[in-house]
């Protein structure tokens, strides 16, 4: 049956591209670009095909036994496909961006090879059908991102890589222990078979609570939950496309996605609620959101500020799913998409500023809007989205989060959301003010740190195009949230399925 | 447990036993002699001839497939020799044949182009290699203590001989020390065997398992046997000889030694424990403590080691700790735990064999390419010889036990066994071992990603050598996902206990 | 075998072993070893183990002796040893305290073994057992005491012989053949080990000036 193979082929498109890229010589940049882009487009089509199939009621599963009682399982459910769709869309954009960004820099073969592996792992995480498969790709993600983080090869990058590994490998180990414990407890359970744990009865509840905390520790590292977030700001030394990937699609999102899976598909929302684990999640999420925002305020450089903003924003996902009720779920799931689109846009912009004008610090941005209007426009859209202003995507999230808080009977969460939005505004609006309203080198005052004229437009078209595209998407998913197939529609579909069996 | 080793003596083989023994032992020996006479300069004749013992093995596997385990006896006067074949033996034979074959493929180019071996040492290399393969096969097949003793001694002396071939002073000194330790180990082994023989008057394992009753004699005998074997297996704290031995040995020999030779001693020790003292849980946890210490100490030393080969050698000490965990997990534990640990142990043995061999080959290629034996010498290696580094990396994935490698699947099973048996201590050992191994492996990578390294001139590695390392590493990586296949072989003839 | 002769044999064996292990001059020590091996062959012969006696005489006495002398650099024509090993003394100062401390492992093994043997009961060839134990103890002590490679090889051979004696004393009626098989293998191994060691010593000597190859420091137990 070809349907069983569809997830495998999707996975293979990027998994097999990696050896192909490694096989191409370093100089063959054009061939590499063709391979990369065509694989990205192909994968996007395949994911679209699966989404279509899902709406038609087809089920895509593929599995085999690894050892007795442990199986490798790929399955395409709505949640997985949403994440797969996000990552393949952003892969296409980021590949395009990276081709432009890394033009004429060394080690491009290595970069794109591991880049493909990284995206393959993300797709694997999205399509994983049980915890074992999830773990497999989760660890593969760690391995494939390490060379990207240390790509520059200078001391700072190497040190960041070491810190990154220390966090993620330990997290992976903790997750492994959790998965093994789960197998020892109930055996091989596919995602969605929530009744298995729920049926264990009350005497298993203390153990399940401990197990949940173990899982959370393992996943929380990648999701950069406070206090496990230490690697994220340091990993900023990586090239801009890598930062974009780490923050928007791959690593951070894999952790958040794992927590979503954990709550909905392993424990089930009602069991999590019963065990009081949702309150734990809420507490962690609130702390992370506020901590990330406050830290972001104190950053003087653009990328670290965005990094702490990620710490804060990813926890909206966690906050959403921790609010018991359909609206909270919708908010969490939809933010999985929204945060990806908006954050990737912001990082592209930061990369554009750095590449074209050599800008790294925020106070160097004065008047950049005049020099790079399109980039600055994209940045503005992303930043307004992060603050949660309509009609950008972020507004939808915050709106549903608020409704979810009311529904879950935790109105105090709204205070947190408002506070966080104010903090978001406090660290984004000054940047926008500098970009648009201050006089800078573009007005004849001083000069840019390191200006290069990379292309016919304000910067190279390879850099500008993805930036504009993702900014537009961020705007569109907010504007067209009510249209079928929009992220909100998908999330609503899933949330309804969750609460109305 | 005795059935798992294929020692239950009521099935006599329908195959011609001496023929089996001859095929498994004689062929490698014969080919070794041939190699010594011809001194092949290329890999393809080696590959062609090396398929001969492999196909003999496949014939054997096909002949015993599906049936019970096969055992044979040979009476020489009143001396009776016992040997047997079951799933486990087949797996180990296959592993041996593969690693020996790969080492043999690696050797011609290596000997000719890299170390510029003399004609004389080349003429010695091949017969000794054949002898090593034969003695290893003998150890896997043997079902009595006399054959085991012969195999063990043959293997030990051959290994010393192979380690001495480089002929440099430090190789000789390390080899001499290894020789003395190996000899002492075999004396302890012999003394243990003497006690068993004196107490129960027989040497066949199946018979001993039935008649041996616990008592001071059995305990002293087991202590002596284990001490001798663990010394040869470089188990902590008897491991000090290992790193110097590898530091100066030829690469294919290091690969063989770390991949197979020390495993043979481990195999014998585990077999004796499970056959003779299957309920000695307390003593086994003592071995477990040694295992924990080996994992931690080996990992720390590998982390701190300055030379690349020392990193790999110390990692062997650490990885052997994982294997030694088989003692507390298998001896005296309940059947469900033992079943998991059994699979995990042999998978770990195979995984480490393949991955460590691959890692040694990759290390050899890196050292050859950079001309540097220190880890710092790898600065910038990722750009200049990505293939060797990639092989090293893939092998490292299996060593660290990251998915989807065979090492991961093995560790999964061991972790599962430790959890199922509530052995929290061993769980912690496995966890710490993983982190430490990640630390020493990524230290190597850290250097290889350094960009501002001075570009020294480097030698290109012959593509064959790179390919061998890569293929072996990939085997260790991908067999993890299809681990059901080697495990099916393990459970094959007579293994479904 | 009358008790007196038995006692005498044991005493002579132990004496020869002690001379082999503790004679300060290596040339003499090696000669003592040959005499010791011949004595062991005699002991085997008196027990009716002719094959073992022959093996011991050829492998143990003749060949092993030849290799030992080879290691010393002595030949039939050139009796004065030339190798640096003859002039090389243990770098460790032999104090009484140290000698006693090194005795401990030997005593531990002996004690353990004694316990096991006492549980096994008495055998008809009972003189072999104390002789074997004595040799084992002496050999282990010497092995722990000496750093000198050749002396360690000698000690190894003496320990081996002790173990063979214990083994044959333990092997009951039905197991004599198996015992002979083990001892035979052991003899071959001992010979090969000694040969390898001897050749190695010669190679080392040929490769480097003596002060480079003395592996005395950081040697540990090995």
Tens digits of residue pLDDT in B192-214: 999 999 888 888 898 898 888 88
Instruction: Evaluate whether residue A380 is within a structural domain.
Output: yes
C213 confidence band (pLDDT: 50, 70, 90):
very low
Question: Which of A18, A25, A67, A152 to substitute to test the interface with B, most B CBs within 10 Å?
Answer: A67
Task: Report percent pLDDT > 70 for chain B.
Answer: 97
Q: Report CB contact under 8 Å: A67, B483.
A: yes
- The C-alpha of B298 sits at a distance from chain A's nearest C-alpha, in angstroms, of 19
CA distances (Å), B136 to each of A186, A479, B159, B264, in order?
Answer: 41, 71, 11, 7
Choice between A172 and B12, residue whose per-residue pLDDT is larger: A172
Mean pLDDT of B9-30: 81
Name chain C contacts of B160, Cβ cutoff 8 Å: 196
Give residue-wise pLDDT tens across range C44-67.
888 888 888 999 999 888 999 998
Please tell me which residue of chain C has the smallest CA distance to B164.
Answer: C200
- Tell whether the model's pLDDT for residue B269 goes beyond 50: yes
Per-residue pLDDT, C221: 36
Question: Which of A176, A178, A181 to substitute to test the interface with B, most B CBs within 10 Å?
Answer: A176
The residues, any chain, with a CB within 8 Å of residue B404's CB and separated by 6 or more, are A136, A140, B477, B478, B480, B481
Q: CA–CA separation, A294 vs B382, rounded Å?
A: 39
Question: Which of A21, A134, A153, A162 to substitute to test the interface with B, most B CBs within 10 Å?
Answer: A153
- Tell whether the model's pLDDT for residue B42 goes beyond 90: no
Q: Closest Cα to residue B106, out of B365, B389, B455? A: B365
Mean pLDDT of B434-459: 83
pTM tops 0.90, yes or no: yes
CA distances (Å), A169 to each of A140, B14, B380, C41, in order?
Answer: 11, 51, 24, 63
The residues, any chain, with a CB within 8 Å of residue C136's CB and separated by 6 or more, are B191, C106, C109, C110, C113, C159, C162, C163, C166
Name chain A contacts of B383, Cβ cutoff 8 Å: 106-107, 110
Name chain A contacts of B406, Cβ cutoff 8 Å: none
Q: ∠A243-A385-A229 over CA atoms, to 5°?
A: 40
Mark the ranges of chain A whose per-residue pLDDT is less than 70: 1-2, 500-501
Question: Which of A25, A138, A180, A185 to substitute to test the interface with B, most B CBs within 10 Å?
Answer: A180
Name chain B contacts of A176, Cβ cutoff 8 Å: 412, 415
- The C-alpha of B76 sits at a distance from chain A's nearest C-alpha, in angstroms, of 44
Name chain B contacts of C196, Cβ cutoff 8 Å: 157, 160-161, 164, 179
Q: Report CB contact under 8 Å: B190, C186.
A: yes
Q: Closest Cα to residue B41, out of B138, B109, B125, B99? A: B109
- Tell whether the model's pLDDT for residue C18 goes beyond 50: yes
Which of B343, B420, B481 has the CB atom closest to A72's CB atom? B481
Name chain B contacts of A143, Cβ cutoff 8 Å: 397, 402
Structurally, chain A folds into a number of domains equal to 1
Instruction: Evaluate whether residue A253 is within a structural domain.
Output: no
Judge whether A495 and A411 are in contact, CB under 8 Å.
no
Helix (H) or strand (E) holding B85: strand B79-85
Q: Report CB contact under 8 Å: A184, B412.
A: no
Question: Please, what sign has the CA dihedral across residues B412, B418, B420, B424?
Answer: negative
Give residue-wise pLDDT tens across range A45-64.
999 998 888 888 888 889 88
**Tokens linked to A293:** 């925002």
Q: ∠B293-B296-B300 over CA atoms, to 5°?
A: 135
Q: Closest Cα to residue B127, out of B31, B27, B44, B23? A: B31
C75 confidence band (pLDDT: 50, 70, 90):
low
Per-residue pLDDT, A450: 80
- The C-alpha of C134 sits at a distance from chain B's nearest C-alpha, in angstroms, of 14
Per-residue pLDDT, B268: 96
String of DSSP letters for B162-207: HHHTT--HHHHHHHHHHHHHHHHHHHHHHHHHHHHHHHHS--BHHH
Q: CA–CA separation, B319 vs B322, rounded Å?
A: 5
Judge whether B365 and B461 are in contact, CB under 8 Å.
yes
Per-residue pLDDT, B71: 85
Contacting chains of C (3 CB pairs or more, <8 Å) are B
Peptide bond into A227 cis (omega under 30): yes
Instruction: Evaluate whether residue A116 is within a structural domain.
Output: no
Q: Report CB contact under 8 Å: C207, B172.
A: yes
**Tokens linked to C1:** 């075998």
Contacting chains of A (3 CB pairs or more, <8 Å) are B
Per-residue pLDDT, C216: 40
What does the DSSP 8-state code read for residue A71?
E
Q: CA–CA separation, B418 vs B337, rounded Å?
A: 7
pLDDT-wise least confident of A10-19, B192-201, C100-109, C117-126: C117-126
Judge whether A136 and A106 are in contact, CB under 8 Å.
no
Per-residue pLDDT, A318: 92
Q: Which chain B residues touch A if contact means CB-CB below 8 Å?
A: 343, 380, 382-383, 386, 390, 397, 402-404, 409, 412-413, 415-416, 419-420, 427, 431, 434-435, 438, 442, 445-446, 449-452, 480-484, 487
A146 at interface of B, judged by CB pairs closer than 8 A: yes
Q: Is the ipTM of this complex over 0.85?
A: yes
Choice between B192 and C170, residue whose per-residue pLDDT is larger: B192
- The C-alpha of B439 sits at a distance from chain A's nearest C-alpha, in angstroms, of 8
Name chain B contacts of A150, Cβ cutoff 8 Å: 446, 449
CB atoms within 10 A of CB A126: 30
Instruction: Evaluate whether residue A430 is within a structural domain.
Output: yes
Q: Report CB contact under 8 Å: B223, C203.
A: no
Name chain A contacts of B452, Cβ cutoff 8 Å: 153-154
A25 at interface of B, judged by CB pairs closer than 8 A: no
Q: ∠A341-A343-A347 over CA atoms, to 5°?
A: 120
- Average per-residue pLDDT for chain C: 79
Q: CA–CA separation, A300 vs B189, rounded Å?
A: 69
Q: Report CB contact under 8 Å: C174, B201.
A: yes
Judge whether C190 and C220 are in contact, CB under 8 Å.
no
Name chain A contacts of B451, Cβ cutoff 8 Å: 106-107, 152-154
Question: Which of C141, C181, C211 to substitute to test the interface with B, most B CBs within 10 Å?
Answer: C181
Judge whether A377 and A457 are in contact, CB under 8 Å.
no
**Tokens linked to A282:** 């809420």
pLDDT-wise least confident of A95-109, B212-226, B279-293, C122-136: C122-136
Question: Please, what sign has the CA dihedral across residues C171, C177, C178, C180?
Answer: positive
Mean pLDDT of B359-377: 87
Which of B184, B194, B216 has the CB atom closest to C156's CB atom? B184
B274 confidence band (pLDDT: 50, 70, 90):
very high
Question: Which of B151, B164, B197 to substitute to test the interface with C, most C CBs within 10 Å?
Answer: B197
Q: CA–CA separation, A352 vs A358, rounded Å?
A: 9
Per-residue exposure over B221-235, b if at least 16 CB sit within 10 Å of its own CB, e if not? bbbbbbbbbbbbbbb
β-strand pairing of B70-76 with A70-76: unpaired
Which of C182, C192, C193 has the CB atom closest to B146's CB atom? C182
Per-residue pLDDT, C215: 45
Q: Report CB contact under 8 Å: A184, B420.
A: yes
C124 confidence band (pLDDT: 50, 70, 90):
low
Enclosing domain of residue A377: 328-501
Instruction: Evaluate whether residue A354 is within a structural domain.
Output: yes
Name chain B contacts of C167, Cβ cutoff 8 Å: 190-191, 193-194, 197-198
Which of B161, B193, B215 has the CB atom closest to C119's CB atom? B215
How far does CA C192 lie from the centroid of its chain?
A: 14
CA distances (Å), A67 to each of A189, B484, C160, in order?
Answer: 14, 5, 47
Name chain B contacts of C171, Cβ cutoff 8 Å: 194, 197-198, 201
Which of A65, A136, A170 has the CB atom closest to B403's CB atom? A136
Q: Report CB contact under 8 Å: B404, A136.
A: yes
Judge whether B373 and B427 are in contact, CB under 8 Å.
no
Please tell me which residue of chain A has the smallest CA distance to B448.
Answer: A153
Give residue-wise pLDDT tens across range B44-95.
888 888 888 899 999 888 888 777 888 888 888 778 889 988 889 999 999 9
String of DSSP letters for B283-296: HHHHHHHHHHHHHH
Q: Please, do chains B and A touch (3+ CB pairs < 8 Å)? A: yes
Q: What are the backbone dihedrals phi and psi of residue B115, each rounded to the nearest 5 degrees, phi first?
A: -100, -5
Q: Closest Cα to residue A368, out of A323, A411, A431? A: A431
Q: CA–CA separation, B221 vs B213, rounded Å?
A: 12
Q: Report CB contact under 8 Å: B435, A169.
A: yes
Mean pLDDT of B257-281: 93
Burial degree of C103 (CB within 10 A; 0-12, 13-18, 19+): middle
Per-residue pLDDT, C217: 38
**Tokens linked to A132:** 């074992």
Q: Please, do chains B and C touch (3+ CB pairs < 8 Å)? A: yes
Instruction: Evaluate whether residue A88 is within a structural domain.
Output: no
Instruction: Evaluate whether residue A377 is within a structural domain.
Output: yes
Question: Which of C154, C196, C220 to substitute to test the interface with B, most B CBs within 10 Å?
Answer: C196
Specify which of A176-180, C4-8, C171-175 reaches the highest per-range mean pLDDT: A176-180
- Tell whether the model's pLDDT for residue B9 goes beyond 70: no
Angle between the C26-46 and C149-170 helix axes, to the nearest 10 degrees? Answer: 10
Q: Report CB contact under 8 Å: A181, B419.
A: yes
**Tokens linked to B333:** 């534990």
Q: CA–CA separation, C37 vs A415, rounded Å?
A: 94
Per-residue pLDDT, C208: 57
β-strand pairing of B70-76 with B79-85: antiparallel
Instruction: Evaluate whether residue A359 is within a structural domain.
Output: yes
Q: CA–CA separation, C9 vs C43, rounded Å?
A: 7
Q: CA–CA separation, A108 vs A311, rounded Å?
A: 29
C92 confidence band (pLDDT: 50, 70, 90):
low
- Average per-residue pLDDT for chain B: 88
Per-residue pLDDT, C93: 58
């Amino acid at each position: 049956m070809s349907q069983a193979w569809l997830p495998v082929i999707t996975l293979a498109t990027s998994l097999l591209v990696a050896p192909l890229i490694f096989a191409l010589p370093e100089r063959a940049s054009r061939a590499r670009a063709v391979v990369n882009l065509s694989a990205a487009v192909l994968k996007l089509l395949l994911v679209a095909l699966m989404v279509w199939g899902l709406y038609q009621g087809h089920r895509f599963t593929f599995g085999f036994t690894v050892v007795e009682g442990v199986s490798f399982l790929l399955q395409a459910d709505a949640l997985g496909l949403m994440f797969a769709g996000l990552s393949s869309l952003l892969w296409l954009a980021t590949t395009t961006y990276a081709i432009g960004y890394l033009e004429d820099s060394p080690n491009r073969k290595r970069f794109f090879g591991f880049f493909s592996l990284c995206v393959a792992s993300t797709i694997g995480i999205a399509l994983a059908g049980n915890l074992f498969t999830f773990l497999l790709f989760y660890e593969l993600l760690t391995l494939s991102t390490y060379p990207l983080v240390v790509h520059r090869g200078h001391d700072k990058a190497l040190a960041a890589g070491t810190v990154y590994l220390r966090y993620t490998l330990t997290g992976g180990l903790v997750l492994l222990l959790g998965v093994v414990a789960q197998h020892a407890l109930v055996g091989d359970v596919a995602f969605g078979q929530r009744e298995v744990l729920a049926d264990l009865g009350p005497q298993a509840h203390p153990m399940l609570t401990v197990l949940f905390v173990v899982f959370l520790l393992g996943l929380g590292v990648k999701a950069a939950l406070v206090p496990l977030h230490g690697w994220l700001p340091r990993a900023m030394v990586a090239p801009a496309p890598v930062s974009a990937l780490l923050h928007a699609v791959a690593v951070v999102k894999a952790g958040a996605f794992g927590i979503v899976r954990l709550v909905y598909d392993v424990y089930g929302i009602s069991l999590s609620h019963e065990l009081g684990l949702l309150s734990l999640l809420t507490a962690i999420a609130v702390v992370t959101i506020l901590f990330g925002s406050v830290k972001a305020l104190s950053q003087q450089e653009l990328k670290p500020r965005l990094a702490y903003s990620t710490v804060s924003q990813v926890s909206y996902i966690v906050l959403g799913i921790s609010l018991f009720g359909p609206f909270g779920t919708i908010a969490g799931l939809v933010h999985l998409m929204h945060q990806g689109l908006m954050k990737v846009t912001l990082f592209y912009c930061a990369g554009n500023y750095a590449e074209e004008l050599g800008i790294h610090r925020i106070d160097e941005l004065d008047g950049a809007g005049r020099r790079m209007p399109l980039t600055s426009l994209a940045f503005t859209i992303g930043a307004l989205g992060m603050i949660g202003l309509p009609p950008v995507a972020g507004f939808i999230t915050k709106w549903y989060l608020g409704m979810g808080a009311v529904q879950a009977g935790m109105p105090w969460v709204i205070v947190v959301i408002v506070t966080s939005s104010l903090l978001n505004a406090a660290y984004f609006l000054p940047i926008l003010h500098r970009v648009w309203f201050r006089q800078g080198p573009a007005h004849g005052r001083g000069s840019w740190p390191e200006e290069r004229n990379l292309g016919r437009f304000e910067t190279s078209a390879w850099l500008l195009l993805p930036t504009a595209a993702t900014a537009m998407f961020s705007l569109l998913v907010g504007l067209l949230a009510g249209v079928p197939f929009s992220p909100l529609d998908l999330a609503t579909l899933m949330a309804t399925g969750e609460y109305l069996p | 447990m005795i059935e798992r080793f294929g020692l239950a003596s009521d099935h006599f083989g329908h195959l011609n036993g001496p023929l089996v023994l001859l095929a498994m032992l004689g062929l490698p020996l014969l080919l070794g002699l041939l190699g010594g006479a011809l001194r092949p300069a290329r890999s393809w004749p080696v590959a062609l001839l090396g398929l001969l013992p492999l196909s003999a093995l496949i014939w054997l596997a096909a002949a015993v497939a599906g049936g019970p385990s096969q055992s044979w006896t040979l009476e020489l006067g009143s001396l009776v020799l016992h040997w047997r074949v079951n799933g486990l033996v087949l797996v180990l034979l296959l592993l041996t044949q593969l690693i020996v074959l790969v080492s043999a493929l690696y050797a011609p180019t290596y000997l000719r182009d890299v170390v510029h071996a003399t004609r004389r040492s080349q003429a010695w290399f091949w017969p000794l290699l054949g002898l090593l393969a034969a003695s290893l096969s003998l150890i896997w097949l043997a079902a009595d203590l006399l054959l085991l003793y012969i195999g063990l001694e043959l293997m030990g002396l051959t290994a010393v001989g192979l380690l001495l071939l480089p002929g440099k002073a430090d190789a000789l000194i390390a080899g001499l020390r290894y020789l003395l330790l190996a000899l002492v180990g075999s004396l302890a082994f012999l003394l243990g065997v003497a006690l068993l023989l004196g107490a129960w008057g027989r040497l066949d394992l199946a018979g001993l398992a039935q008649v041996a009753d616990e008592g001071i004699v059995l305990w002293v005998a087991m202590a002596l046997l284990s001490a001798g074997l663990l010394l040869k297996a470089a188990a902590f704290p008897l491991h000090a000889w290992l790193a110097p031995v590898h530091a100066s040995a030829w690469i294919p020999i290091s690969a063989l030694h770390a991949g197979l030779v020390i495993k043979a001693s481990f195999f014998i020790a585990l077999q004796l424990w499970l056959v003779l003292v299957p309920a000695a849980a307390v003593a086994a946890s003592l071995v477990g403590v040694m295992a924990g210490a080996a994992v931690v100490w080996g990992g720390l030393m590998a982390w701190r080691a300055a030379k690349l080969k020392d990193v790999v050698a110390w990692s062997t000490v650490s990885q052997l700790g994982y294997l030694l965990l088989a003692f507390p997990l298998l001896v005296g534990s309940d059947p469900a735990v033992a079943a998991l640990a059994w699979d995990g142990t042999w998978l770990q043995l195979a995984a480490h064999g393949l991955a460590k061999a691959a890692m040694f080959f990759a290390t050899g290629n890196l050292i050859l390419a950079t001309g540097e034996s220190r880890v710092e010498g790898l600065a910038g290696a990722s750009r200049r010889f990505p293939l060797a580094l990639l092989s090293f990396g893939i092998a490292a994935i299996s060593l660290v036990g990251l998915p989807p490698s065979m090492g991961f699947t093995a560790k999964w099973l061991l972790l599962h066994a430790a959890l199922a048996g509530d052995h929290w201590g061993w769980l912690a050992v496995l966890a710490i071992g993983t982190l430490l191994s990640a630390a020493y492996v990524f230290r190597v990578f850290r250097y290889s990603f350094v960009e501002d390294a001075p570009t020294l001139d480097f030698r290109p590695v012959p593509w064959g050598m790179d390919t061998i390392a890569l293929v072996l590493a990939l085997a260790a990586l991908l067999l993890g996902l299809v681990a059901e296949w080697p495990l099916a072989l393990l459970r094959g003839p007579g293994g479904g206990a | 075998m009358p008790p007196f002769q038995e006692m005498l044999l044991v005493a002579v064996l132990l004496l020869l072993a002690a001379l082999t292990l503790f004679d300060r001059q290596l040339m003499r020590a090696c000669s003592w070893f040959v005499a010791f091996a011949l004595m062991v062959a005699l002991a085997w012969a008196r027990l009716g183990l002719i094959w073992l006696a022959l093996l011991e005489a050829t492998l143990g006495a003749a060949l092993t002796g030849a290799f030992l002398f080879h290691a010393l650099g002595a030949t039939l024509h050139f009796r004065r040893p030339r190798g640096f090993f003859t002039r090389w003394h243990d770098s460790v100062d032999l104090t009484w305290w140290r000698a006693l401390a090194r005795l401990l492992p030997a005593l531990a093994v002996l004690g353990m073994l004694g316990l096991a043997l006492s549980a096994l009961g008495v055998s008809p060839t009972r003189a072999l057992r104390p002789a074997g134990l004595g040799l084992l103890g002496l050999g282990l002590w010497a092995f722990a005491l000496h750093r000198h490679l050749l002396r360690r090889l000698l000690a190894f051979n003496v320990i081996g012989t002790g173990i063979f004696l214990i083994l044959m004393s333990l092997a009951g009626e039905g197991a004599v053949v198996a015992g002979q098989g083990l001892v035979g293998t052991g003899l071959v191994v001992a010979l090969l080990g000694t040969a390898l060691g001897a050749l190695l010593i010669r190679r080392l000597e040929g490769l480097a000036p003596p002060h480079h190859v003395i592996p005395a420091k950081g040697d540990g137990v090995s």
